[in-house]
Structure 1
Amino acid sequence: MENFMNSFSLQGKVALITGASYGIGFNIARGFAAAGATIVFNDINQELVDKGLAAYKEEGIPAHGYVCDVTDEAAVNELVKKIEAEVGVIDILVNNAGIIKRIPMLEMAAADFRKVIDIDLNGPFIVSKAVIPGMIKKGHGKIINICSMMSELGRETVSAYAAAKGGLKMLTKNIASEYGEYNIQCNGIGPGYIETPQTAPLRVEGHPFNSFIISKTPAARWGKPEDLMGPAVFLASDASDFVNGHILYVDGGILAYIGKQPQ
């Protein structure tokens, strides 16, 4: 048992985190790098990739950045080949790239609905499909899908996002079912409400949404990006080799809680 903590190490592992120029993906990559992984990421255009490379450099993390649209199957297949040639076979995939369009359902065009589904659900299918053959040959692999509390709950204006994230939860379970025998584990992380630059305007004291989230969270606070690092490293490491098809909600207890009684 003296080497037990080594099972949490990602030393020598190649991790691809999609859309990880900033935000949740970037912070998961920081955790992976601290655990020893080689970081690879993509984004939709060169400007975002360059911003990401600069951010990783500032953190002292050597990272490999590529331009790729996760909804373009041919481009994704080329990306995976390139990563295998230039960095190594992918051991860990985090399907993080995603978008949200907050539009009431009756006002939402079908084209907008399809776009969210394409990026948030078809993208993880396409990228997973591209990396699984290499994982099978290698004899192991970890896939982590970034789900959401909207994988479980509905909310006004997010019909497309909730549909995509609900589908992603079931894609996670199906990849686990289909490829578990090849020592591939596919799990999800469902972040709660996290302190990011995007949520900064909502977190101002006195803002109704800030009060709403704090009242709905047993932890009585927003999550910090660092709160996602430990769960992500666990699911990417050998410590989780018998955890498969599970969605780990990192939400401060929101999903367990009915909420405070009105005064």
Structure 2
Amino acid sequence: MIIGAGPGIGVSVARRFARAGFPIGVVARSRPTVDAAVAALAENNVDTHGATADAADESSLRAALDELVGQLGVPDVVVYNAAVIQWDAIGELTVAEHLAAWAVNVVGAITTAAHLLPRIAEAGGGT
């Protein structure tokens, strides 16, 4: 499962796992990005599904994770790749801008782990 399946690193990581035969679940903010990721993985002949979610929105992210678990089962691997990258010097961004980035970069990762780890552990996986 790849959270943050944009056209760069996210899809590249998903391709690598697909080539190894893993079923792939991708999460991105927009339906066009999800659809493009799923299409990019079609050549690998693995079960691939996508869901939309804003990684900063806990309920949206949890719903997307649940959707993919329902379609693919509990994942063996979870890659949290969602990120807000901002090139700024100290003092250039407002506190609100920093908090918005923190919500995606950190809180989304914590939400993902907290939501999936119990299921992964119950299935006998996780490290």
TM-score, normalising length: structure 2: 0.89
Q: Does 1:40 align with 2:13?
A: no
Pairwise CA distance, 1:79: 2.0
- Match for residue 124 of structure 1? 109
Q: 1:133-163: CA deviations, max 9, x gaps?
A: 111210112xxxxxxxxxxxxxxxxxxxxxx
- Match for residue 60 of structure 1? 44
Contact 1:21 1:53 in 2 (8 A): no
Pairwise CA distance, 1:61: 4.6
Which structure has the greater CA radius of gyration?
1
Pairwise CA distance, 1:80: 2.4
Contact 1:68 1:75 in 2 (8 A): yes
Q: Does 1:77 align with 2:59?
A: no
- Match for residue 113 of structure 1? 98
- Distance in 1, Cα, partners of 2:95 & 2:13: 32
**Which amino acid is 2:10 matched to?**
G
SS in 1 for 2:91: helix
- Distance in 2, Cα, partners of 1:131 & 1:24: 22
- Tell me which stretches of 4 or more aligned residues in structure 1 moved more than 4 Å: none
Contact 1:99 1:120 in 2 (8 A): yes
- Distance in 2, Cα, partners of 1:36 & 1:112: 39
**Which amino acid is 1:132 matched to?**
L
- Distance in 1, Cα, partners of 2:37 & 2:14: 11
Q: Does 1:28 align with 2:30?
A: no
- Match for residue 239 of structure 1? none
Pairwise CA distance, 1:32: 0.9
**Which amino acid is 1:97 matched to?**
A
> Paired residue for 1:88, among 46, 69, 73?
73
Contact 2:50 2:68 in 1 (8 A): no
How many residues are treated as equivalent by the alignment? 126
Pairwise CA distance, 1:41: 0.5
Pairwise CA distance, 1:125: 0.4
Q: 1:155-203: CA deviations, max 9, x gaps?
A: xxxxxxxxxxxxxxxxxxxxxxxxxxxxxx2xxxxxxxxxxxxxxxxxx
Unaligned runs of 5+ in 2: none
- Distance in 2, Cα, partners of 1:96 & 1:23: 10
Contact 1:76 1:130 in 2 (8 A): no
Pairwise CA distance, 1:81: 2.1
Identical-residue share of aligned pairs (%): 29
SS in 2 for 1:106: coil
SS in 2 for 1:101: coil
Contact 1:71 1:126 in 2 (8 A): no
Unaligned runs of 5+ in 1: 1-15, 142-184, 186-263
- Distance in 1, Cα, partners of 2:63 & 2:97: 27
SS in 1 for 2:83: coil
Pairwise CA distance, 1:123: 0.9
Greater RCO, CA 8 A, separation 6+? 2
Q: CA RMSD in A?
A: 1.5
**Which amino acid is 1:22 matched to?**
P
Pair 1:110–1:61, CA change in 2 (3 A): farther
